[in-house]
Chain A
Amino acid sequence: MSESIPRLESGGSSDRRRFEGLRGVQWRLDLGVIPAAPSSSIDDLRRVTADSRRRYASLRRRLLVDPHISKDGSNSPNLAMDNPLSQNPDSSWGRFFRNAELEKMVDQDLLRLYPEDGSYFQTPGCQGMLRRILLLWCLRHPEYGYRQGMHELLAPLVYVLHVDIERLSQVRELYEEHFTDKFDELSFHDNDLTYNFDFKKFSDTLENGSSQENASKVRSINELDPEIQKIILLSDAYGAEGELGIVLSEKFMEHDAYCMFDALMSGVNGSVAMADFFAHSPACGSKAALPPIIEASAALYHLLSTVDSSLHSHLVELGVEPQYFALRWLRVLFGREFSLQDLLAIWDEIFAQDNRKMDIVAEDDEGSSFRILSSSRGVFIAGIAVSMILHLRSSLLAAENATSCLQKLLNFPQNVDLMKLIEKARSLQALALEVNTSTSSSSSGAFVQSKRMVGRGHSLSSDSISPRTPLNLVPDSYWEERWRNLHKEEELKGGSLQKQVSTKKKGWSEKVKLSLSRTESDPSPAKAENIKKVTRTSVRRSLLEDLSRQLGSDEGAEKRSSHQIGGQKDHLSVKDDLARSEIHNEFSCADEERRLSANCGSEENSSIFSDPVSPLSGPIDHENDSEKSSVVSNLSLDEHDDQLQSTGCTVEDSPLPVSDVPDNTSLKSEPNNDPAGKAAIGVKERRPLSGKFQWLWKFGRNASAEETSNKEESPEASKSSDVETIYHDAADHSVIDHSISSGGIKGDSIDGNMIGSLRNLGQSMIEHIQVIESVFQQDRGQVGSLENFSKNLLVGKGQVTAMSALKELRKISNLLSEM
Chain B
Amino acid sequence: MLVPGKIQHIICTGNLCIKEVHDYLKTLCPDLHITRGEYDEETRYPETKTLTIGQFKLGLCHGHQVIPWGDLDSLAMLQRQLDVDILVTGHTHQFTAYKHEGGVVINPGSATGAYSSITYDVNPSFVLMDIDGLRVVVYVYELIDGEVKVDKIDFKKTTTTTAH
Please indicate the chain B residues that have their CB under 8 angstroms from the CB of A68 in the complex. 130, 132, 135, 137
B72 at the interface (CB under 8 A from A): no
B150 at the interface (CB under 8 A from A): yes
* Complexed CA–CA distance, A85 and B2 (Å): 7
B140-164 with Cβ < 8 A to chain A:
141, 148-152, 154
Nearest chain A residue, comparing its CB with the CB of B132:
A68
B139 at the interface (CB under 8 A from A): yes
Please indicate the chain A residues that have their CB under 8 angstroms from the CB of B150 in the complex. 79-80, 83
Q: Contact at A76–B149, with CB atoms within 8 Å?
A: no
B67 at the interface (CB under 8 A from A): no
Distance in Å: Cβ of B79 to nearest Cβ of chain A: 26
* Complexed CA–CA distance, A84 and B2 (Å): 10
A87 at the interface (CB under 8 A from B): yes
A97 at the interface (CB under 8 A from B): yes
Nearest chain B residue, comparing its CB with the CB of A81:
B150
Distance in Å: Cβ of B145 to nearest Cβ of chain A: 14
Distance in Å: Cβ of B31 to nearest Cβ of chain A: 17
Please indicate the chain A residues that have their CB under 8 angstroms from the CB of B130 in the complex. 68, 84
Distance in Å: Cβ of B132 to nearest Cβ of chain A: 5
Distance in Å: Cβ of A788 to nearest Cβ of chain B: 56
Q: Contact at B151–A85, with CB atoms within 8 Å?
A: no
* Complexed CA–CA distance, A355 and B92 (Å): 71
B6 at the interface (CB under 8 A from A): yes
* Complexed CA–CA distance, A392 and B6 (Å): 51
Q: Contact at B141–A83, with CB atoms within 8 Å?
A: yes
Q: Which of B149, B152, B154 has the most CB of A within 10 A?
A: B152
Distance in Å: Cβ of B95 to nearest Cβ of chain A: 15
Q: Contact at B137–A76, with CB atoms within 8 Å?
A: no
Nearest chain A residue, comparing its CB with the CB of B135:
A68
Q: A85-B6, A85-B128, A97-B6 are in contact. Are A79 and B137 (CB under 8 A)?
A: no
Please indicate the chain B residues that have their CB under 8 angstroms from the CB of A86 in the complex. 1
Q: A68-B130, A68-B132 are in contact. Are A85 and B149 (CB under 8 A)?
A: no
Please indicate the chain A residues that have their CB under 8 angstroms from the CB of B137 in the complex. 68
Q: Contact at B6–A87, with CB atoms within 8 Å?
A: no
Q: A79-B150, A80-B149 are in contact. Are A85 and B141 (CB under 8 A)?
A: yes
Please indicate the chain B residues that have their CB under 8 angstroms from the CB of A83 in the complex. 128, 139, 141, 150, 152
Nearest chain B residue, comparing its CB with the CB of A66:
B132
Distance in Å: Cβ of B127 to nearest Cβ of chain A: 11
Please indicate the chain B residues that have their CB under 8 angstroms from the CB of A85 in the complex. 1-3, 6, 128, 139, 141
Q: A716-751: contact bitstring with B at CB < 8 Å (1 yes, 0 no)?
A: 000000000000000000000000000000000000
Nearest chain B residue, comparing its CB with the CB of A94:
B6
Nearest chain B residue, comparing its CB with the CB of A67:
B130
B1-19 with Cβ < 8 A to chain A:
1-3, 6
Please indicate the chain B residues that have their CB under 8 angstroms from the CB of A79 in the complex. 139, 150-152
Distance in Å: Cβ of B7 to nearest Cβ of chain A: 8
Distance in Å: Cβ of B138 to nearest Cβ of chain A: 11
Please indicate the chain B residues that have their CB under 8 angstroms from the CB of A84 in the complex. 6, 128, 130, 139
Q: A68-B130, A97-B6 are in contact. Are A76 and B152 (CB under 8 A)?
A: yes
Please indicate the chain B residues that have their CB under 8 angstroms from the CB of A76 in the complex. 152
Distance in Å: Cβ of A32 to nearest Cβ of chain B: 40
Please indicate the chain A residues that have their CB under 8 angstroms from the CB of B135 in the complex. 68
Q: Contact at B1–A87, with CB atoms within 8 Å?
A: yes
A65-98 with Cβ < 8 A to chain B:
68, 71, 76, 79-80, 83-87, 97
Distance in Å: Cβ of B156 to nearest Cβ of chain A: 10
Q: Contact at B148–A80, with CB atoms within 8 Å?
A: yes
Distance in Å: Cβ of B139 to nearest Cβ of chain A: 5
* Complexed CA–CA distance, A68 and B150 (Å): 16
* Complexed CA–CA distance, A312 and B139 (Å): 65
* Complexed CA–CA distance, A68 and B130 (Å): 9
* Complexed CA–CA distance, A97 and B5 (Å): 9
Please indicate the chain A residues that have their CB under 8 angstroms from the CB of B141 in the complex. 83, 85
B62-84 with Cβ < 8 A to chain A:
none
Distance in Å: Cβ of A608 to nearest Cβ of chain B: 60
Contacts A79-B152, A84-B130, A85-B6 given; 6 further ones with Cβ under 8 A?
A68-B132, A71-B154, A83-B150, A84-B128, A87-B3, A97-B6
Q: Which A positions have Cβ atoms within 8 angstroms of B?
A: 68, 71, 76, 79-80, 83-87, 97
9 residue pairs of the A-B complex, CB under 8 angstroms, read A68-B135, A76-B152, A79-B151, A80-B148, A83-B128, A84-B128, A85-B2, A85-B128, A85-B139
